[in-house]
Chain A
Amino acid sequence: MAALGSPLRTLRGLLRELRHISGSAYRDTAAYRHVLAAFRAHRVTSEKLCRAQQELHFQADTYLCLLRSVRQHQALHREYHGRGERTPEEVAGLVGFRLPRQPGGKG
Protein backbone atom coordinates (compact mmCIF):
# COMPACT_ATOMS: atom_id res chain seq x y z
CA MET A 1 0.00 0.00 0.00
CA ALA A 2 1.10 3.59 -0.53
CA ALA A 3 3.15 5.27 2.15
CA LEU A 4 0.66 7.91 3.21
CA GLY A 5 1.79 9.19 6.59
CA SER A 6 -0.63 10.14 9.32
CA PRO A 7 -4.27 11.00 8.53
CA LEU A 8 -4.11 13.93 10.91
CA ARG A 9 -1.40 15.53 8.84
CA THR A 10 -3.43 15.06 5.67
CA LEU A 11 -6.49 16.58 7.32
CA ARG A 12 -4.54 19.57 8.59
CA GLY A 13 -3.02 20.11 5.16
CA LEU A 14 -6.45 19.95 3.53
CA LEU A 15 -7.89 22.49 5.95
CA ARG A 16 -4.95 24.79 5.34
CA GLU A 17 -5.46 24.59 1.56
CA LEU A 18 -9.17 25.27 1.95
CA ARG A 19 -8.32 28.30 4.06
CA HIS A 20 -6.01 29.54 1.30
CA ILE A 21 -8.90 29.26 -1.13
CA SER A 22 -11.76 30.73 0.84
CA GLY A 23 -10.07 33.01 3.35
CA SER A 24 -11.77 33.50 6.67
CA ALA A 25 -15.08 32.02 5.55
CA TYR A 26 -13.60 28.59 4.92
CA ARG A 27 -15.67 26.95 7.64
CA ASP A 28 -18.91 27.69 5.77
CA THR A 29 -17.88 26.00 2.54
CA ALA A 30 -19.30 22.69 1.41
CA ALA A 31 -15.79 21.30 0.92
CA TYR A 32 -14.87 21.90 4.58
CA ARG A 33 -18.03 20.23 5.83
CA HIS A 34 -17.62 17.28 3.48
CA VAL A 35 -13.98 16.70 4.40
CA LEU A 36 -14.65 16.81 8.12
CA ALA A 37 -17.72 14.58 7.82
CA ALA A 38 -15.77 12.03 5.76
CA PHE A 39 -12.89 11.92 8.23
CA ARG A 40 -15.24 11.61 11.19
CA ALA A 41 -17.30 8.86 9.55
CA HIS A 42 -14.29 6.66 8.91
CA ARG A 43 -12.59 7.19 12.23
CA VAL A 44 -14.29 4.53 14.24
CA THR A 45 -14.68 1.08 12.74
CA SER A 46 -14.52 -2.37 14.20
CA GLU A 47 -11.93 -3.60 11.74
CA LYS A 48 -8.28 -3.29 12.49
CA LEU A 49 -7.24 -2.91 8.85
CA CYS A 50 -10.08 -0.94 7.37
CA ARG A 51 -9.99 -0.80 3.60
CA ALA A 52 -12.48 2.04 3.40
CA GLN A 53 -10.35 4.03 5.81
CA GLN A 54 -7.26 3.57 3.65
CA GLU A 55 -9.23 4.39 0.53
CA LEU A 56 -10.47 7.60 2.10
CA HIS A 57 -7.00 8.50 3.30
CA PHE A 58 -5.59 7.95 -0.19
CA GLN A 59 -8.34 10.10 -1.70
CA ALA A 60 -7.75 12.83 0.86
CA ASP A 61 -4.03 12.70 0.17
CA THR A 62 -4.64 12.93 -3.58
CA TYR A 63 -6.99 15.89 -3.15
CA LEU A 64 -4.44 17.60 -0.92
CA CYS A 65 -1.77 17.05 -3.59
CA LEU A 66 -4.13 18.54 -6.19
CA LEU A 67 -4.95 21.68 -4.18
CA ARG A 68 -1.37 22.23 -3.11
CA SER A 69 0.15 21.78 -6.57
CA VAL A 70 -2.48 24.01 -8.23
CA ARG A 71 -1.69 26.76 -5.72
CA GLN A 72 2.08 26.36 -6.19
CA HIS A 73 1.67 26.27 -9.97
CA GLN A 74 -0.33 29.50 -9.91
CA ALA A 75 2.24 31.18 -7.68
CA LEU A 76 5.07 30.14 -10.01
CA HIS A 77 3.09 31.31 -13.03
CA ARG A 78 2.43 34.69 -11.44
CA GLU A 79 6.06 35.10 -10.53
CA TYR A 80 7.77 33.96 -13.72
CA HIS A 81 5.31 33.73 -16.58
CA GLY A 82 2.55 36.19 -15.81
CA ARG A 83 3.84 39.42 -17.27
CA GLY A 84 2.96 38.92 -20.94
CA GLU A 85 4.17 41.07 -23.80
CA ARG A 86 5.12 44.70 -23.66
CA THR A 87 2.72 47.11 -25.37
CA PRO A 88 4.11 49.13 -28.33
CA GLU A 89 4.20 52.21 -26.10
CA GLU A 90 6.44 50.40 -23.60
CA VAL A 91 8.71 49.15 -26.36
CA ALA A 92 9.13 52.69 -27.72
CA GLY A 93 9.72 53.94 -24.21
CA LEU A 94 12.61 51.48 -23.78
CA VAL A 95 14.72 53.55 -26.16
CA GLY A 96 13.22 56.89 -25.22
CA PHE A 97 10.76 57.33 -28.11
CA ARG A 98 7.07 58.09 -28.03
CA LEU A 99 4.56 56.79 -30.54
CA PRO A 100 3.14 59.42 -32.90
CA ARG A 101 -0.45 60.47 -32.42
CA GLN A 102 -2.50 60.86 -35.60
CA PRO A 103 -5.53 63.05 -34.93
CA GLY A 104 -7.63 61.62 -37.78
CA GLY A 105 -6.50 58.01 -37.44
CA LYS A 106 -4.35 56.17 -39.98
CA GLY A 107 -5.24 54.84 -43.39
Chain B
Amino acid sequence: MWRRRRLVQALSRLPALAARGRPLGPGGGRAYAPPPERKRFYQNVSISQGEGGFEINLDHRKLKTPQAKLFTVPSEALAIAVATEWDSQKDTIKFYTMHLTTLCNTALDNPTQRNKVQLIRAAVKFLETDTLCYRVEEPAALAELQKKEWDPIVTWAEKRYNVAIGSSTSIMGPNIPASTRDTFISHLASYNMWALQGIEYVITQLKSLILSMGLIDRHITVEKAVLLSRLEEEYQIQRWGNVEWAHDYDLCELRARAAAGTLFVHLCSESTTVKHKLLQD
Protein backbone atom coordinates (compact mmCIF):
# COMPACT_ATOMS: atom_id res chain seq x y z
CA MET B 1 0.00 0.00 0.00
CA TRP B 2 2.69 2.52 1.04
CA ARG B 3 4.83 1.39 -1.87
CA ARG B 4 2.09 2.25 -4.35
CA ARG B 5 1.62 5.65 -2.71
CA ARG B 6 5.38 6.31 -2.99
CA LEU B 7 5.19 5.37 -6.66
CA VAL B 8 2.26 7.71 -7.27
CA GLN B 9 4.11 10.52 -5.48
CA ALA B 10 7.21 9.93 -7.56
CA LEU B 11 5.18 9.87 -10.76
CA SER B 12 3.31 13.02 -9.85
CA ARG B 13 6.61 14.88 -9.62
CA LEU B 14 7.16 14.31 -13.32
CA PRO B 15 6.26 17.26 -15.59
CA ALA B 16 2.57 17.55 -16.33
CA LEU B 17 1.38 15.30 -19.11
CA ALA B 18 -1.45 16.06 -21.45
CA ALA B 19 -4.21 13.55 -21.96
CA ARG B 20 -2.38 11.98 -24.93
CA GLY B 21 0.76 11.40 -22.86
CA ARG B 22 3.11 14.10 -24.16
CA PRO B 23 5.09 16.63 -22.05
CA LEU B 24 3.56 20.10 -21.92
CA GLY B 25 5.43 23.30 -22.62
CA PRO B 26 4.79 26.60 -20.87
CA GLY B 27 1.87 27.50 -23.10
CA GLY B 28 0.29 24.09 -22.83
CA GLY B 29 1.59 22.91 -26.22
CA ARG B 30 4.31 20.39 -26.95
CA ALA B 31 7.56 21.46 -25.28
CA TYR B 32 9.85 20.79 -28.20
CA ALA B 33 7.64 21.11 -31.27
CA PRO B 34 7.60 24.01 -33.72
CA PRO B 35 4.37 26.06 -33.82
CA PRO B 36 1.71 24.52 -36.07
CA GLU B 37 1.74 25.84 -39.62
CA ARG B 38 -1.06 28.14 -40.69
CA LYS B 39 -3.40 26.65 -43.20
CA ARG B 40 -4.19 28.55 -46.34
CA PHE B 41 -7.24 30.53 -45.28
CA TYR B 42 -7.95 32.38 -48.50
CA GLN B 43 -9.07 31.36 -51.97
CA ASN B 44 -8.15 34.27 -54.19
CA VAL B 45 -5.26 36.69 -54.17
CA SER B 46 -5.66 39.98 -56.00
CA ILE B 47 -4.06 43.39 -56.23
CA SER B 48 -5.62 46.79 -55.81
CA GLN B 49 -4.21 50.28 -56.00
CA GLY B 50 -4.44 52.49 -52.91
CA GLU B 51 -3.07 55.95 -52.15
CA GLY B 52 0.33 54.74 -50.95
CA GLY B 53 0.81 52.25 -53.73
CA PHE B 54 -0.35 48.74 -54.55
CA GLU B 55 -2.00 46.50 -51.93
CA ILE B 56 -2.56 42.76 -51.77
CA ASN B 57 -6.00 41.34 -51.03
CA LEU B 58 -6.42 37.83 -49.66
CA ASP B 59 -10.08 37.16 -50.51
CA HIS B 60 -11.54 40.42 -49.20
CA ARG B 61 -8.98 41.07 -46.46
CA LYS B 62 -6.05 43.40 -47.01
CA LEU B 63 -2.61 42.00 -46.28
CA LYS B 64 -0.79 43.54 -43.31
CA THR B 65 2.86 43.44 -42.23
CA PRO B 66 3.92 41.66 -39.01
CA GLN B 67 3.75 45.05 -37.24
CA ALA B 68 0.15 45.46 -38.47
CA LYS B 69 0.89 48.17 -41.00
CA LEU B 70 -0.92 48.09 -44.30
CA PHE B 71 1.14 46.21 -46.90
CA THR B 72 1.82 48.71 -49.67
CA VAL B 73 4.41 48.43 -52.42
CA PRO B 74 5.40 51.15 -54.86
CA SER B 75 5.65 48.98 -57.95
CA GLU B 76 2.91 47.01 -59.69
CA ALA B 77 5.27 44.28 -60.87
CA LEU B 78 6.45 43.76 -57.30
CA ALA B 79 2.85 43.56 -56.08
CA ILE B 80 2.06 40.93 -58.73
CA ALA B 81 5.12 38.92 -57.73
CA VAL B 82 4.13 39.04 -54.04
CA ALA B 83 0.57 38.03 -54.94
CA THR B 84 1.96 35.09 -56.92
CA GLU B 85 3.98 34.04 -53.85
CA TRP B 86 0.82 34.03 -51.73
CA ASP B 87 -1.07 32.24 -54.47
CA SER B 88 1.55 29.52 -54.72
CA GLN B 89 0.99 28.38 -51.14
CA LYS B 90 -0.94 25.11 -51.11
CA ASP B 91 -2.61 23.75 -47.94
CA THR B 92 -0.20 25.38 -45.50
CA ILE B 93 1.54 28.73 -45.66
CA LYS B 94 5.29 28.34 -45.75
CA PHE B 95 6.69 31.73 -44.90
CA TYR B 96 10.25 30.62 -45.51
CA THR B 97 9.54 30.30 -49.23
CA MET B 98 8.06 33.79 -49.55
CA HIS B 99 11.23 35.79 -49.93
CA LEU B 100 9.76 38.83 -51.67
CA THR B 101 7.03 39.14 -49.02
CA THR B 102 9.69 39.00 -46.30
CA LEU B 103 11.74 41.70 -48.02
CA CYS B 104 8.71 43.97 -48.40
CA ASN B 105 7.81 43.45 -44.74
CA THR B 106 11.36 44.34 -43.73
CA ALA B 107 11.31 47.47 -45.87
CA LEU B 108 7.92 48.56 -44.51
CA ASP B 109 8.49 47.75 -40.83
CA ASN B 110 12.25 48.38 -40.61
CA PRO B 111 12.44 46.18 -37.48
CA THR B 112 16.13 46.90 -36.91
CA GLN B 113 15.29 50.61 -37.08
CA ARG B 114 18.24 51.53 -39.21
CA ASN B 115 18.34 54.72 -41.22
CA LYS B 116 19.88 55.10 -44.68
CA VAL B 117 23.37 55.99 -43.41
CA GLN B 118 23.50 52.96 -41.13
CA LEU B 119 22.33 50.65 -43.90
CA ILE B 120 24.97 51.95 -46.31
CA ARG B 121 27.64 51.65 -43.63
CA ALA B 122 26.65 48.03 -42.93
CA ALA B 123 26.75 47.26 -46.66
CA VAL B 124 30.15 48.85 -47.34
CA LYS B 125 31.62 47.24 -44.21
CA PHE B 126 31.25 43.93 -45.99
CA LEU B 127 33.93 44.97 -48.44
CA GLU B 128 36.57 44.33 -45.80
CA THR B 129 35.44 40.72 -45.56
CA ASP B 130 34.44 40.28 -49.15
CA THR B 131 34.60 36.67 -50.28
CA LEU B 132 36.22 37.56 -53.57
CA CYS B 133 39.14 39.22 -51.81
CA TYR B 134 40.05 36.29 -49.60
CA ARG B 135 42.27 33.88 -51.49
CA VAL B 136 43.77 30.59 -50.40
CA GLU B 137 47.31 29.48 -51.07
CA GLU B 138 46.70 25.76 -51.11
CA PRO B 139 45.34 23.53 -52.61
CA ALA B 140 46.88 24.95 -55.76
CA ALA B 141 43.93 23.91 -57.92
CA LEU B 142 41.55 25.94 -55.77
CA ALA B 143 43.90 28.95 -55.74
CA GLU B 144 44.07 28.74 -59.53
CA LEU B 145 40.28 28.46 -59.79
CA GLN B 146 39.81 31.47 -57.54
CA LYS B 147 42.22 33.49 -59.66
CA LYS B 148 40.52 32.44 -62.89
CA GLU B 149 36.95 33.04 -61.75
CA TRP B 150 37.18 35.86 -59.26
CA ASP B 151 39.84 38.11 -60.79
CA PRO B 152 37.70 39.16 -63.79
CA ILE B 153 34.87 40.25 -61.50
CA VAL B 154 37.19 42.20 -59.21
CA THR B 155 38.78 43.86 -62.26
CA TRP B 156 35.34 44.70 -63.61
CA ALA B 157 34.35 46.30 -60.29
CA GLU B 158 37.59 48.25 -60.10
CA LYS B 159 37.14 49.56 -63.60
CA ARG B 160 33.41 50.27 -63.31
CA TYR B 161 33.69 52.23 -60.07
CA ASN B 162 37.22 53.54 -60.61
CA VAL B 163 38.49 52.16 -57.30
CA ALA B 164 41.28 49.94 -56.04
CA ILE B 165 40.24 46.75 -54.25
CA GLY B 166 42.83 44.02 -54.70
CA SER B 167 42.87 40.64 -53.00
CA SER B 168 44.90 39.03 -50.28
CA THR B 169 45.91 35.63 -48.97
CA SER B 170 46.50 36.79 -45.41
CA ILE B 171 44.00 36.28 -42.62
CA MET B 172 43.65 40.05 -42.18
CA GLY B 173 42.20 40.43 -45.62
CA PRO B 174 42.78 43.10 -48.24
CA ASN B 175 43.63 46.66 -47.36
CA ILE B 176 40.69 48.69 -48.67
CA PRO B 177 41.66 52.35 -49.10
CA ALA B 178 39.28 54.97 -47.71
CA SER B 179 38.66 56.42 -51.16
CA THR B 180 37.24 53.07 -52.31
CA ARG B 181 34.92 53.00 -49.34
CA ASP B 182 33.80 56.58 -49.98
CA THR B 183 33.11 55.84 -53.64
CA PHE B 184 30.86 52.94 -52.73
CA ILE B 185 29.14 54.95 -50.01
CA SER B 186 28.30 57.74 -52.42
CA HIS B 187 27.19 55.24 -55.07
CA LEU B 188 24.85 53.43 -52.70
CA ALA B 189 23.46 56.74 -51.48
CA SER B 190 21.80 57.15 -54.85
CA TYR B 191 19.40 54.26 -54.11
CA ASN B 192 16.20 54.74 -52.12
CA MET B 193 15.54 53.13 -48.74
CA TRP B 194 13.68 50.10 -50.11
CA ALA B 195 16.36 49.32 -52.69
CA LEU B 196 19.02 49.66 -49.98
CA GLN B 197 17.28 47.06 -47.80
CA GLY B 198 17.38 44.73 -50.79
CA ILE B 199 21.04 45.47 -51.53
CA GLU B 200 22.06 44.87 -47.94
CA TYR B 201 20.11 41.59 -47.98
CA VAL B 202 21.85 40.36 -51.13
CA ILE B 203 25.26 41.31 -49.76
CA THR B 204 24.58 39.41 -46.53
CA GLN B 205 23.41 36.33 -48.42
CA LEU B 206 26.23 36.21 -50.97
CA LYS B 207 28.84 37.38 -48.44
CA SER B 208 30.28 39.70 -51.04
CA LEU B 209 29.77 43.35 -51.92
CA ILE B 210 31.47 42.97 -55.30
CA LEU B 211 29.19 40.14 -56.41
CA SER B 212 26.13 42.07 -55.28
CA MET B 213 27.19 45.12 -57.28
CA GLY B 214 27.74 42.81 -60.23
CA LEU B 215 24.15 41.62 -59.88
CA ILE B 216 22.70 45.09 -59.39
CA ASP B 217 24.54 46.35 -62.45
CA ARG B 218 23.37 43.31 -64.42
CA HIS B 219 26.93 42.26 -65.14
CA ILE B 220 26.39 38.65 -64.02
CA THR B 221 23.32 36.45 -63.68
CA VAL B 222 22.04 35.18 -60.32
CA GLU B 223 23.18 31.62 -61.05
CA LYS B 224 26.69 32.82 -61.83
CA ALA B 225 26.84 35.07 -58.75
CA VAL B 226 25.76 32.19 -56.52
CA LEU B 227 28.30 29.90 -58.17
CA LEU B 228 31.09 32.42 -57.57
CA SER B 229 29.97 32.95 -53.99
CA ARG B 230 30.12 29.21 -53.36
CA LEU B 231 33.27 28.64 -55.39
CA GLU B 232 35.14 26.70 -52.75
CA GLU B 233 32.12 24.49 -52.04
CA GLU B 234 31.70 23.79 -55.73
CA TYR B 235 35.38 22.86 -55.91
CA GLN B 236 34.98 20.42 -53.03
CA ILE B 237 31.81 19.01 -54.59
CA GLN B 238 33.71 18.41 -57.83
CA ARG B 239 36.40 16.66 -55.86
CA TRP B 240 34.45 14.66 -53.30
CA GLY B 241 30.96 14.37 -54.71
CA ASN B 242 27.60 16.03 -54.28
CA VAL B 243 25.30 15.46 -51.30
CA GLU B 244 21.84 16.30 -52.56
CA TRP B 245 20.11 16.88 -49.27
CA ALA B 246 22.76 19.38 -48.16
CA HIS B 247 24.52 20.88 -51.18
CA ASP B 248 21.58 21.18 -53.54
CA TYR B 249 19.34 22.29 -50.68
CA ASP B 250 21.70 25.14 -49.79
CA LEU B 251 22.25 25.99 -53.44
CA CYS B 252 18.54 26.32 -54.16
CA GLU B 253 17.96 28.36 -51.03
CA LEU B 254 20.84 30.75 -51.81
CA ARG B 255 19.68 31.11 -55.41
CA ALA B 256 16.13 31.89 -54.27
CA ARG B 257 17.29 34.48 -51.76
CA ALA B 258 19.77 36.17 -54.13
CA ALA B 259 17.21 36.22 -56.95
CA ALA B 260 14.54 37.66 -54.65
CA GLY B 261 16.90 40.35 -53.38
CA THR B 262 18.07 41.34 -56.85
CA LEU B 263 14.55 41.43 -58.25
CA PHE B 264 13.44 43.48 -55.25
CA VAL B 265 16.21 46.04 -55.80
CA HIS B 266 15.50 46.36 -59.51
CA LEU B 267 11.74 46.67 -59.06
CA CYS B 268 12.13 49.26 -56.30
CA SER B 269 14.59 51.46 -58.11
CA GLU B 270 13.12 51.60 -61.59
CA SER B 271 10.34 53.52 -63.17
CA THR B 272 8.90 52.40 -66.44
CA THR B 273 7.40 54.66 -69.03
CA VAL B 274 6.08 53.41 -72.31
CA LYS B 275 6.26 55.82 -75.20
CA HIS B 276 4.31 54.80 -78.23
CA LYS B 277 5.77 56.14 -81.43
CA LEU B 278 3.26 56.97 -84.07
CA LEU B 279 3.93 55.71 -87.56
CA GLN B 280 4.66 58.64 -89.79
CA ASP B 281 3.54 58.24 -93.37
Q: Enumerate B214-251 residues with CB–CB distance to A below 8 Å.
A: 218-224, 244-245, 248-249
Q: Enumerate B32-52 residues with CB–CB distance to A below 8 Å.
A: 32-33, 46-47
Q: Enumerate A36-76 residues with CB–CB distance to B below 8 Å.
A: 38, 41, 46, 52, 54-55, 58-59, 61-63, 65-66, 69-70, 72-74, 76
Contacts of B17 in A (CB 8 A): 105-107
Number of interface residues of B (CB under 8 A): 49
Complex alpha-carbon distance, A74 and B266, angstroms: 25
A40 to chain B, nearest CB (A): 11
Say yes or no: A62 contacts B266, CB within 8 Å: yes
Say yes or no: A2 contacts B220, CB within 8 Å: yes
Contacts of A106 in B (CB 8 A): 11-12, 14, 16-17
Complex alpha-carbon distance, A61 and B266, angstroms: 12
Contacts of A21 in B (CB 8 A): 84, 87-88
Contacts of B84 in A (CB 8 A): 18, 21, 29-31
Say yes or no: B21 contacts A81, CB within 8 Å: no
Say yes or no: A73 contacts B221, CB within 8 Å: no
Given contacts A21-B87, A21-B88, A66-B260, contact A31 B81 (CB under 8 A): yes
Complex alpha-carbon distance, A18 and B255, angstroms: 18
Given contacts A30-B80, A65-B259, A69-B256, contact A1 B249 (CB under 8 A): no
- Is B114 in contact with chain A by the CB < 8 A criterion? no
Mask, A67-107, CB within 8 Å of B = 1, is 00110111011011100010111000000000111000111
- Is A8 in contact with chain B by the CB < 8 A criterion? no
Contacts of B224 in A (CB 8 A): 2-3
18 new A-B contacts at CB < 8 Å, known A1-B218, A1-B219, A65-B259: A30-B84, A31-B81, A34-B77, A34-B80, A41-B274, A52-B272, A55-B266, A61-B221, A66-B256, A66-B263, A69-B252, A73-B249, A73-B252, A76-B248, A76-B249, A81-B249, A99-B21, A105-B17
Residues of B within 8 A of A (CB): 11-12, 14, 16-17, 19, 21-22, 32-33, 46-47, 76-77, 80-81, 83-84, 87-88, 94, 97, 99-100, 218-224, 244-245, 248-249, 252-253, 255-256, 259-260, 262-263, 266-267, 270, 272, 274, 277
9 A-B residue pairings within 8 Å (CB atoms): A21-B88, A34-B76, A52-B272, A62-B222, A62-B263, A63-B81, A65-B259, A66-B260, A89-B21
